[in-house]
Chains A and B, each alone.
Chain A
Amino acid sequence: MKSMEEFTEEIGDTSFVSVRGGATRWNLGGSLTEGAIEVEAPQGVIDFKPEEMIVRVGAGTKLSNLQNDLTELKQEVALAGFPDSSVGGSLAVGSSSHRRARIGAACDVLLQADCVGADGKQFVAGGPTVKNVTGYDICRLLVSSLGTLALMGVVTLRTRPKPEIGVWLKGELPFEEIMRCCYRPASVLHDGSKTFVLVEGYEKDVEKEKASLEKIGMVVLDRELEIPPLQRGATREDLNVGFLDLQIGAVYSNDTHCNIEVSEEVERLSNRIKKNFDPTGRLNPGRKPY
Chain B
Amino acid sequence: MRKRQRKVKDPLLFSLIEALSEDRVTDGASARRIYSKDGSVMEGGRAGIVCFPEDTSEVAKCVSIANEYDREFVTRGAGTGLAGGSVPCNDPIMIVTTRMNNILDVDLEKRIAWVQPGVVNLDLSNSLKGTGLHFAPDPSSQQACTIGGNVANNSGGPHCLAYGVTNTHVAALEVVLPDASIVQLGSIEGEACGYDLRGVFVGGEGTLGVATRIAVRLTEDPPEIATLLLDFSKITDAAETVSQIIANGVLPAALELMDRNVVAAVEPFAKAGYPLDAEAVLIAEVDGLPDGVSHEVDIISEIAMNNGAREVRIALDEEERERIWKGRKSAFGAIAKIKPDYYLHDTVIPRGRLAEVIQKVYEIAERYDLLVMNVFHAGDGNLHPLLVFDARIPGTLEKVKQAGEEIVRISLEAGGVLSGEHGIGLEKQGFMSQQFSERDLEAQDALRRSFDPENRSNPHKVLPSGSSCGELNSLNDIPEGVWA
Contact = CB atoms under 8 A, between A and B. Distances in A.
Contacts of A51: 243-244, 246-247, 351-352
B250 interface: yes
A145 to B, nearest CB: 6
Interface string A149-184: 110000000001110000000000001100000011
Interface in A239-290: 245, 247-251, 260, 262-263, 265-266, 269-270, 272-273, 275-277, 289-290
A241 B350 CA distance: 44
A249 B217 CA distance: 12
Interface stretch (A38-46, A186-194, A197-205, A213-221): A197-205
Nearest to A164: B292
Nearest to A53: B246
A183 B420 contact: no
Contacts of B446: 273, 276-277
B183 A269 contact: yes
B251 A160 contact: yes
Interface string B421-436: 1111000100010011
A84 interface: no
A234 interface: yes
Contact of A273 (B192, B195, B417): B195
Given A235-B189, A236-B189, A269-B197, A123 B442 contact: yes
Contacts of A269: 177, 183, 197, 450-451
Given A137-B199, A141-B196, A75 B249 contact: yes
Interface string A78-96: 0000000000000000101
Contacts of A52: 246, 350-352
Contacts of B246: 50-53
**Which of B184, B203, B352 is packed against the most chain A CB atoms within 10 Å?**
B203
A245 B184 CA distance: 22
A133 B249 contact: no
B247 A265 contact: no
Interface string B281-298: 000000011111001000
Contact of A232 (B165, B185, B190, B424): B190
B247 A290 contact: no
B368 to A, nearest CB: 25
B351 A145 contact: no
B288 A117 contact: no
Contact of B291 (A132, A161, A208, A262): A208
B381 A131 contact: yes
A250 B202 CA distance: 21
A202 B419 CA distance: 34
Contacts of B204: 136
A276 B114 CA distance: 32
Nearest to A275: B450
A87 to B, nearest CB: 18
A141 B202 CA distance: 12
A107 interface: yes
A131 B348 CA distance: 7
B164 A104 contact: yes
Nearest to A184: B220
A270 B194 contact: yes
Nearest to A272: B450
Contacts of B111: 247
A129 B199 contact: no
B339 to A, nearest CB: 28
Nearest to B377: A131
Interface string A114-134: 010100011111011111111
A230 B453 CA distance: 34
Contact of A49 (B223, B291, B350, B416): B350
A232 B193 contact: yes
A205 B273 CA distance: 32
Contacts of B193: 144, 232-233, 260, 262, 289-290
Given A108-B164, A129-B350, A205-B289, A265 B177 contact: yes
Nearest to B243: A51
Contacts of A53: 246, 251
A140 B189 contact: no
A290 B417 contact: no
Interface string B191-214: 111111101101110000000000
B154 interface: yes
A36 interface: no
B200 A137 contact: yes
A138 interface: yes
Nearest to A106: B191
B24 to A, nearest CB: 27
A160 B442 CA distance: 32
Interface string B131-167: 0000000000000000000000110100010001101
A117 B184 contact: no
Contacts of A140: 167, 196, 199-200
B193 to A, nearest CB: 3
B136 to A, nearest CB: 12
A105 interface: yes
A209 B289 contact: yes
Contacts of A144: 191, 193-196
A271 B168 CA distance: 25
A25 interface: no
A35 interface: no
B418 A289 contact: no
Contact of A265 (B181, B415, B435): B181
A143 interface: yes
B462 A136 contact: yes
A20 interface: no
**Which of B291, B432, B435 is packed against the most chain A CB atoms within 10 Å?**
B291
Contacts of B188: 249
Nearest to B166: A133
B423 A94 contact: no
Contacts of A133: 153-154, 165, 203, 419-424
Interface of B: 109-111, 153-154, 156, 160, 164-165, 167-168, 177, 181-185, 187-197, 199-200, 202-204, 220, 222-223, 243-244, 246-247, 249-251, 288-292, 295, 348-352, 377, 380-382, 415-424, 428, 432, 435-437, 439-444, 446-451, 453, 462-463
Q: Which 8 A-B pairs have the closest CB atoms?
A: A290-B194, A233-B193, A249-B189, A202-B292, A140-B199, A51-B247, A205-B289, A204-B291
Given A202-B295, A230-B191, 4 more contacts: A53-B251, A107-B191, A129-B417, A270-B197
14 contacts: A127-B435, A129-B417, A131-B420, A132-B420, A150-B443, A162-B249, A184-B220, A202-B295, A232-B194, A250-B191, A266-B183, A266-B184, A266-B185, A277-B443
Interface of A: 49-53, 74-75, 94, 96, 104-105, 107-108, 115, 117, 121-125, 127-138, 140-141, 143-145, 149-150, 160-162, 175-176, 183-184, 201-202, 204-205, 208-209, 230, 232-236, 245, 247-251, 260, 262-263, 265-266, 269-270, 272-273, 275-277, 289-290
